[in-house]
Amino acid sequence: MTFDLEKILASKRAYRQTLAAKPIAEKLRMLDALRERALAIRQDAPSFNVARETPSKYRTP
Amino acid sequence: MNIKEVIVTINQMQADGVIDRYAIGGAVGATFYLEPVATLDLDIFVALHTAPGSRIVSPKPIFDYLTSRGCKTEGEYIVIAGWPVQFLPPTGPLVEEALAQAVEKDVEGTPTRVFSPEHLAAIALQTGRAKDKARVLQFVEAGVLDAKQFQAILTRHGQVARWQQFEKQFLSDKP
């Protein structure tokens, strides 16, 4: 455990690299789990009026 | 909820002649090159068939095919194996090129096609929302972009000025 920001950031980068290097099938299973979690959080969250980004589907300008 | 099952279904749809070439884009496409990027839907880019006797491109055959196999529609999405999937035709030359040059991938024995990292980053740059810019940064930081290829794509599709602005905003040490 450290409070050295440089070390913390380096550790985060290393963790992201470890995740990125995992086999694709494993990463896709993670996406399945992440989506289930996101949906559960949305379901339990109170419905505030929040600012949301308007989706834009790959339109050319 | 299973993305691999979605890929199997889309491959079958292609084998049955409902769609031509397809490629995965968006956050799921990015996950083939980066750490998993949380997303709620799956973007599949397809070259859609024109209806017989018509010049209008229609997603109807896709929806008919999938709903006859028990998939439900939700707005512009169709839910396959628990995932809302959006079928998107190429909306411009950049996405057309991305689809034509999509990369073959293998997911535990199941073949699929995904946009190249350079095309995913260029499309995100062009789309330009906050989360798209964050994705471009992820690609840059992960070091997965072939600089020469990326630059060529930006040049071909008139995105150089946008890239320079992005570089100035996010990749420059000077404020």
Number of domains present in the structure of chain A = 1
- Strand, coil or helix: A15: helix
CA distance B105 to B167: 30
Residue of A58, A59, A60 to mutate, testing the B interface (most B Cβ within 10 Å of its Cβ) = A58
Residues of B whose CB is below 8 A from A38: 38, 40
Q: How far is A42 from chain B (nearest CA, A)?
A: 11
**A55 domain-assigned:** no
Closest residue of chain A to B125, computed from CA coordinates: A58
Q: B159 and B126 in contact (C-beta within 8 Å)?
A: yes
Contact at CB, A60 and B129, closer than 8 angstroms: no
Its pTM stands at 0.89
- A44: exposed, middle or buried (Cβ count in 10 Å: 0-12, 13-18, 19+): exposed
User: In chain A, which residue ranges form alpha helices assigned H by DSSP?
Assistant: 5-20, 24-44
**A51 domain-assigned:** no
Element (H or E) spanning B107, and its range? strand B103-107
**A14 domain-assigned:** yes
Domain that residue A17 falls in: 5-43
Is the pLDDT at B131 greater than 50? The verdict is yes
* B174 — pLDDT class (breaks 50, 70, 90): low
**A52 domain-assigned:** no
**A9 domain-assigned:** yes
Is the pLDDT at B50 greater than 80? The verdict is no
Closest residue of chain A to B30, computed from CA coordinates: A20
Q: Which one, of B162, B63, B77, lies nearest residue B122 by Cα?
A: B162
- Strand, coil or helix: A48: coil
| pLDDT tens figures, A5-19 | 999 999 999 999 999
**A36 domain-assigned:** yes
| pLDDT tens figures, B70-121 | 999 998 899 999 999 999 999 899 999 999 999 999 999 999 999 999 999 9
Determine the pLDDT at residue B53.
72
Q: Which of B107, B123, B126 is facing A28, going by the closest CB pair?
A: B107
- What ipTM does this complex have? 0.88
**A17 domain-assigned:** yes
Q: For each of the domains in chain B, give its residue range(s) and CATH number, in order of start.
A: 3-115 (3.30.460), 118-171 (no CATH)
Q: B120 and B25 in contact (C-beta within 8 Å)?
A: yes
**A38 domain-assigned:** yes
